[in-house]
A and B are shown apart, each in its own frame.
Chain A
Amino acid sequence: MNAAAIPAMPAFLLRQLGLQAGTRALLEGIDAQLPLGRFTAIVGPNGAGKSSLLKLLAGLQAPSQGQVLLHGLPLAAMPLAERARQLGWLGQFAAADLPLSLHDYVLLGLRPTLGSFGQASAPDLARVASALQQFDLLGAQQRRWGQLSGGERQRAGLARLLVQDAPLWLLDEPTNHLDLKHQALLFRRLRAEVAQGRTIVAVLHDLPQAARWADHVLLLGEGRLLAQGAPADCLSAAELSRAYQWPVRLWPDAAGHWQLAVGEVA
């Protein structure tokens, strides 16, 4: 079956979404659709409200205005336990120290399945081992959290998401702390997950990577949605320059790799 031929259903529908912090509007009047079973990238300059938007999608914060619909139903009405089975969220800043080993940490991904009291079964533990293996962490699994490098913590977070196994992943700058190889491996991995039907929404800083790997892009600037759609359509020089308030141009070269040019202004 050709996935591209089927019009993508929205996983998330955002209606006039707004978020206030005191008197300051972090997000304002966002109307958007995030397709199901696709990779959506949220891009924009610092302070544009990308992480705030991701938290609203995860239901970790309640919007001040408007609403988030997940599969057509208001996210706010979804019980917490069900939300944890539907949505996996990985924040930007992992704790610097935890009294847990890497293995204990990844094991917590089973919390939505097991509830407060359930015992992990042998297949559950096998899933944890497989997640550790897939993110190249088997050798470090007994190390304490404080001894892990930033990259290992980032990969541990992804392994925890894999164990949690929610059909939708919300990732806040998942390439943070990752070296070039692990970034490439991560994006391949995310594409493979999407090919298997997972929906991924990621806040990304790197425009060429967003353009290369994402199916759908939301471009934010100063709390507003400036453009949404396929990368080639909505990451035009005009839109990008408006978002970043700086001359920016993004284009695919002959090999299909995206190139970025950042201009100089007087």
Chain B
Amino acid sequence: MPTSEARLRWPHRPPVFAPLLAGLYGLLPRLALLAASAGLIVFALGFAGDGWQWPDLADPLVSALRLPRVLSALLVGAALAAAGAALQALFRNPLADPGLIGTASGAALAVVAVMALGLVSIGLPTAAFIGALLSTWLLLGLSRLLGGGEISLLLLGLVLGSLAAAATGMLLFLSDDLTLRSAMSWLSGQLGSSTGAPLAWAAPFALAGIALLLAMGRELDCLLLGEDEARSLGVPVERVRLWTAIGAALAVGAAVSVAGIIGFIGMMVPNACALLLGGGRRRLIWVSSLAGALFLLLMDTLARGIAYPVNLPVGLLAGFIGPLCFFWLFRLRARRLA
């Protein structure tokens, strides 16, 4: 019998799919343009009123700094949120997040290792993908081998993540290379850092990953019912697991190679979206990717302006908001048990 103690509650509300989607589609391009054309204050004003204008692409500040940063925010946010929504179904756990279960740490370790070897450009997202895939696959294998339910999965992921983080720290410590020193700030989750992979190299990985996860939507919904149920519905379970892990690794690897580890986006965004439109992965993965892009763009614009002229890493900001969301999900569960 399923034990209610070990179960975490999935957030859910009846669907308001169409209006939410229309809102996201309407907001995204406008906010992106605004963020590219202005700093925080103008951003806020421009969003409130109608006094905004197209970004001046001839301005080097816009074309060289802001626009790439805005595009990175969109890509990284979409990739992390889509991966989170898919991983939660893969592990049947609403708290699964690429940052919490070690996927991102595995990617970061691989990136640092490749940096230490002096390989860059395409090498970074490729290494990040391989690192993320290995850590996801290892976690999947270990959790099936050891069993023990959803909380122990998080613990296992935490342990794997810590292991990867320790190895990353060791690599950084042993290295006297300046590139690796500067990797520290990239690692804490920063958009627009010059250490990370160039956006153009990472984008194909992220987009391929998101597309793959979108394609797995219905299969993941079936997998949520349980392995036997999914198989009885004709779902090739092992293949779906592998493709989902590959898709999530592509997306998370690309995000990490660009912006380091930004935690909690993959947990917060899908769960918040599930509250609005129900947790079916077929819809949730792509609504989450839109909402994740929007969310990270807002967070990064905030991080950019909040301590001006200092550029706060957006990963730090996410690190403060994320745990609050985590507590909220735990409270949902506590309320049910009461």
A, B from the same assembly: yes
A residues with a Cβ closer than 8 A to B are 55, 58-60, 80-81, 83-85, 87-89, 91, 93, 95-101, 104-105, 108-109, 111-112, 114-117, 142, 144-146, 164
Partner of B222, one of A85, A111, A145: A111
- Asked if B222 and A144 make an inter-chain contact with CB atoms under 8 angstroms apart, the answer reads no
- Are A111 and B12 in contact, CB atoms less than 8 angstroms apart? no
Q: Are B279 and A89 in contact (CB under 8 A)?
A: no
Q: Please tell me which one of the listed residues B1, B215, B232, B274 contacts residue A99 in the complex, with CB atoms under 8 A apart.
A: B274
Minimum C-beta distance from A140 to chain B (A): 12
Q: Check A96 against B7 for contact (C-beta < 8 Å).
A: yes
Inter-chain contacts of B234 with A (CB < 8 A): 80-81, 83-85, 111-112, 115
- CA A109 to CA B235, docked complex, whole Å: 12
Q: Size band of the B side of the interface? A: 35 or more
Closest residue on chain B to residue A115 by CB atoms: B234
Known contacts: A60-B231, A88-B232, A95-B225. The answer to whether A111 contacts B218 by CB under 8 A is yes
**CA A55 to CA B14, docked complex, whole Å:** 34
- Check B226 against A146 for contact (C-beta < 8 Å): no
Chain A positions within 8 Å of B278 at CB level: 99-101, 104, 144
What is the CA–CA distance of A145 and B11 in the complex, to the nearest angstrom?
A: 11
Interface: B9 (CB within 8 A): yes
Q: Is B94 part of the binding interface, using a Cβ–Cβ cutoff of 8 Å?
A: yes
User: Which residues of chain A are near B231, meaning CB under 8 Å?
Assistant: 59-60, 80
Quick one: which of A55, A109, A115, A146 has the most chain B CB within 10 A?
A146
Q: Which residues of B contact A80 (CB under 8 A)?
A: 231, 234-236
Query: Is the pair A84, B219 in contact by a Cβ cutoff of 8 Å?
Result: no
* Chain A residue nearest to B6 in the complex (CB): A96
Knowing that A97-B7, A99-B274, A101-B12 are A-B contacts, what are 19 other residue pairs whose CB atoms are under 8 Å apart, sorted by A's residue number? A58-B232, A80-B231, A89-B229, A91-B226, A96-B4, A97-B8, A98-B224, A98-B279, A99-B224, A99-B280, A101-B14, A104-B280, A105-B225, A111-B234, A144-B10, A146-B9, A146-B10, A146-B12, A164-B233
Bound CA span A108–B219, Å: 9
Q: How far is the CA of A87 from the CA of B233 in the complex (A)?
A: 9
A148 CB, min distance to chain B CBs, angstroms: 12
Contact with A along B206-240 (1 / 0, CB 8 A): 00000000011011011011101101111110000
Contacts of B274 in A (CB 8 A): 99
| Complex Cα–Cα for A44 and B219 (A) | 35
User: What are the interface flags for B1-29 relative to A under an 8 Å C-beta threshold, 1 for contact and 0 otherwise?
Assistant: 11010011111101100000000000000
Chain B residues within 8 Å of A87, by CB: 232
Which chain A residues border B219 with CB–CB below 8 Å? Answer: 116
Nearest A residue to B92 by beta-carbon distance? A95
**B-side contacts of A99, CB under 8 Å:** 10-12, 88-89, 94, 224, 274, 278-280
Interface string of B70-84 (1 = CB under 8 A from A): 000000000000000
26 A-B contacts (beta carbon < 8 Å): A80-B234, A81-B234, A89-B228, A89-B229, A91-B226, A95-B2, A97-B7, A97-B8, A98-B224, A98-B225, A98-B279, A99-B280, A100-B221, A101-B280, A104-B221, A108-B221, A108-B233, A111-B233, A111-B234, A116-B215, A117-B215, A117-B218, A144-B12, A144-B278, A145-B12, A146-B10
Residues in A whose Cβ lies below 8 Å from that of B215: 116-117
**CA of A104 to CA of B284, assembled, Å:** 12
Chain A residue contacts of B226, Cβ below 8 A: 91, 95
Which residue of A55, A85, A93, A116 has the most chain B CB atoms within 10 A of its CB atom?
A116
How near does chain A come to B73, taking the closest CB pair, in angstroms? 27
Most buried by B among A58, A83, A84, A109: A84
CA distance A145 to B92 in the complex (A): 14
Contact of A91 among B224, B229, B236 (CB under 8 A): B229
Closest chain B CB from A65 CB (angstroms): 21
The interface centre, meaning the residue of A80, A89, A145 with most chain B CB atoms within 10 A of its CB, is: A80
